[in-house]
Homo-oligomer: A and B are copies of this chain.
Amino acid sequence: MLTPERLSLNTATVREQWDLRQCVEGCLRHGFGGIAPWRDKIHEIGLDEAARIIRASGLGVSGLCRGGWYTAEGALTEAVIDDNRRAVDEAAAIGSKYLVMVVGGLPEGSRDIVGAREIVTEGLAKTLEYARSVGVHIAIEPLHPMYAADRACVNTLRQTLDICDVLGDGIGAAVDVYHVWWDPEILDQIKRAGKERLMAFHICDWLVPTRDMLTDRGMMGDGVIDIKGLREAVEAEGFSGLNEVEIFSALNWWKRDADEVMQVIIERGRTSC
């Protein structure tokens, strides 16, 4: 049971309907506790204006999506490092304590996933160094293994925490139920993470059947994930952040009126989380 003030709207959920200003107004109108913008929504209206709107709203900011993609140019390049530095600055500007990382998949033409993971760890280390200097935390989002090739080669919470163990303070995990619900180790690894490293909690649902690997996520309650069980597991470790709703849904929710989507989220927060 989640009341609206415990919910955060990830802007991807209504990315086809609303710009950032509309997202902020929608969150206020529906009584959401916070927002988590994607960078494209910020760039559309400019960072200064985005920061002004978000800060003036009084909404919590559960994270900025996203930095990472360290393998985009094969080897780690200055351009990729610079872009991540800008992402850190944007997180700081909008008052987000966390920058969420989708780390990138295999470089074009590569079959070397071990090598890709080395590039990612090196890139995270560089971004972390800068992030520490401005007080932003890095939240690695392990992505479902079906995205290992083309989006993120960090695919389990265990792997995420292994990287965090190496890199030290200021880096942790963004746990999205969609990506981790299947993992036989998830409850143990949530315990291992502990409060300091549980930086974000994202909710949606896994539909059966899933008709598209990227854009067919379900509304909470429409699928098979034990969302409440996972929420209680992170809360048992002391996580007290917002429950960020991130639903990629080209086939359904992106086609609906955004205020209707917000209402359904609120209902499902009450009944299915």
A-side interface residues toward B, CB under 8 Å?
A: 106, 110-113, 117, 144-146, 148-150, 153, 155-156, 158-159, 162, 181-185, 206, 208-210, 213, 223-226
Decide if A206 touches B156 in the complex (CB within 8 Å): no
Decide if B181 touches A113 in the complex (CB within 8 Å): yes
Contacts of A226 on B, CB cut-off 8 Å? 111-113
- Known A-B contacts A149-B224, A226-B111; the reply to A184 vs B155 at CB < 8 A is yes
- Known A-B contacts A210-B213, A213-B210; the reply to A148 vs B111 at CB < 8 A is no
Contacts of A112 on B, CB cut-off 8 Å? 226
Contacts of A159 on B, CB cut-off 8 Å? 184
Q: How many copies of this chain sit in the oligomeric assembly?
A: 2
Residue in contact with A182 in the complex, picked from B145, B158, B181, B183, CB distance below 8 Å: B145
Nearest 10 CB-CB pairings of A with B: A148-B182, A145-B182, A146-B146, A159-B184, A111-B226, A145-B145, A149-B224, A149-B208, A111-B224, A150-B208
Decide if B111 touches A225 in the complex (CB within 8 Å): yes
Contacts of A110 on B, CB cut-off 8 Å? 224
Contacts of A153 on B, CB cut-off 8 Å? 182
Contacts of A209 on B, CB cut-off 8 Å? 150, 213
Decide if A184 touches B213 in the complex (CB within 8 Å): no
Q: A162–B184 Cα gap in the complex (Å)?
A: 11
Q: A201–B210 Cα gap in the complex (Å)?
A: 28
A227 to chain B, nearest CB (A): 8
Q: A165–B112 Cα gap in the complex (Å)?
A: 31
Contacts of A146 on B, CB cut-off 8 Å? 144-146, 210, 213
Contacts of A156 on B, CB cut-off 8 Å? 184
A237 to chain B, nearest CB (A): 19
Ordered by A's residue number, 19 sampled pairs between the chains whose C-beta atoms are within 8 Å are A111-B226, A112-B226, A113-B224, A117-B184, A145-B145, A145-B146, A145-B183, A146-B146, A146-B210, A148-B181, A148-B182, A149-B208, A150-B209, A155-B182, A155-B183, A156-B184, A158-B185, A159-B184, A162-B184
A151 to chain B, nearest CB (A): 10
A179 to chain B, nearest CB (A): 9
Q: A106-B224, A155-B183 are in contact. List 19 more A-B contacts (CB 8 A).
A: A106-B208, A110-B224, A111-B224, A111-B225, A111-B226, A112-B226, A113-B181, A113-B224, A144-B145, A145-B145, A145-B182, A146-B146, A148-B182, A149-B208, A149-B223, A150-B208, A156-B184, A158-B185, A210-B213
